[in-house]
Amino acid sequence: MTAGAPPSTKIGDMAPEALRELQEQRLRAMIDLLLSTDNLQARRLREVGVTRGTDVRLDEIGGLPTISKQDLWDHYPFGLRAAAEEDIVCVHGSSGTGGRPTLIPYTANDVEVWSEVMARALEGAGATRKSTVHNAYGYGLFTGGLGVHHGGLRLGATVIPMSGGMTERQVRLIEDLKPDVLCCTPSYALRLAEDLDQNNSVKVGIFGAEPWTDEMRREIEQRLGIRALDIYGLSEIIGPGVACESLDSEGLLNIAEDHFYPETLDGELVFTTLTKTGMPLLRYRTGDVATLHEPRNGPLRRMSKLKGRKDDMLVIRGVNVFPTEIEAVVLELASPHYLIVEDRRTTTAQLHVVVESTEDVRSRLTEKLKERLGITCRVLVLEPGKVPRTEVGKAQRLARWTQGQAPINGLT
């Protein structure tokens, strides 16, 4: 466990003043670590007059420079590393936008932090050392699978390391091993629900890695008969466990604020890693859109479910549209399997919404989408099973069509 860190079960008992003091102490230590390097973040700190950690107070963090995904790309693979090469124990990351890789080096300390916040997330969902966790997040460079794995082991639970795909085998093991916790993407939870005849054991699901709505939450809960909780994280900050709903968090996600200090800039989430040592990031602009909320029962602030990503926001005839707004309408009338197509083959952009249902919903769905979004969408209705399912990884809910063949049969 990180030096000075309270036990994961005790953080909620800290007084707000004590948490703030801990955050400031860790922020200053993190800035000293950055300044010990000669990388981009150190140079930017010196440019604004910061020469040591004690130059900064927590309430002054808004005046410090930010870091972006572009900066990580520009210094690929490890130009922002702060730890010695021999102290790196693993590397995670993702392909990123357009396949551009983002790699994150982790020290043993970072893995400890990750294990702690993920154990805390599982515990908040009601898991105990007697639990069996069916982990259907992908293992590998993607942080989902190993993040849940680390947290489950830290909690003392039994982890079934299924990874993604192989749905028939997943269903068989859920039926045979009777896990009480299911961890996967929300879209894959619905995929499992199609084949799982009866759920006699799973009580709660922890679903993340893609934005999803409360409408999808209700769909999952109804089909599987479980509580469905949201989890948030990204490899640049640590992986899953940055924030997570608990059974009593009222639809908001508790932020592990003793390790990750949150801000918002124009609606965009910004995080500072207070305890990471492999590649600490000061004021990282995540690209995710959400709101922050004050604490309710304890010292930790909470965040809303993601509204979406800034780069996923669609501008159609001057109107800003997030895919989650479309999902909320689709799930009122049709199956949770759908595809949004942004058609930019001409100068006038058009939105197509492809759903699985019966033909009679077309006009009602078109009307409700116009009422919600303020624009007219073209609705294509397909038979059940015709919208592609995602077996592994994040669901592809949005396709951009600029030329050539349509991204799905039936569009013209």
Q: What is the pLDDT of residues 111-146, one digit of tens each?
A: 999 999 999 999 999 999 999 999 999 999 999 999
Percent of the chain whose pLDDT exceeds 70: 96
**How confident is residue 2, by pLDDT bands cut at 50, 70 and 90?**
very low
What is the overall mean pLDDT for the chain? 92
**pLDDT higher than threshold 90 for residue 370:** yes
Q: What's the number of CA atoms in the CB half-sphere (13 Å) around residue 19?
A: 19
Confidence of residue 7 (pLDDT cuts 50, 70, 90): very low
The model's pLDDT over 315-332, given as tens digits with 9 standing for 90+, comes to 888 888 989 899 999 999
Percent of the chain with pLDDT over 90: 81
Q: What domains, with CATH codes, occur in the chain?
A: 313-401 (3.30.300.30)
Nearest to 207 by CA among 196, 198, 223, 220: 220
118 close to 151: Cβ distance less than 8 angstroms: yes
**185-229, pLDDT tens digit by residue?**
999 999 999 999 888 899 999 999 988 999 999 999 999 999 999
pLDDT tens-digit readout, 23-47: 999 999 999 999 999 999 999 999 9
Burial (CB count <10 Å: 0-12, 13-18, 19+), residue 293: middle
What is the reported pLDDT for 98?
53
Q: Phi first, then psi: what are they for 229, rounded to 5°? A: -115, 150
pLDDT at 95: 61
Integer angstrom CA distances of residue 249 from 8, 44, 124:
17, 38, 9
Q: Return the structure tokens found at 156.
A: 């003392």
Cα→Cα distances 403→128, 287, 400, Å? 52, 27, 9
335 or 2, higher pLDDT:
335
What pLDDT was estimated at residue 315?
A: 84
Provide the pLDDT for residue 127. Answer: 98
- Cβ(184)–Cβ(137) under 8 Å? yes
Backbone angles phi, psi at 25, to 5 degrees: -60, -45
Query: What are the b/e assignments for 65-89, b being 16+ CB within 10 Å?
Result: ebbebebbeeeeebebbbbeeebbe
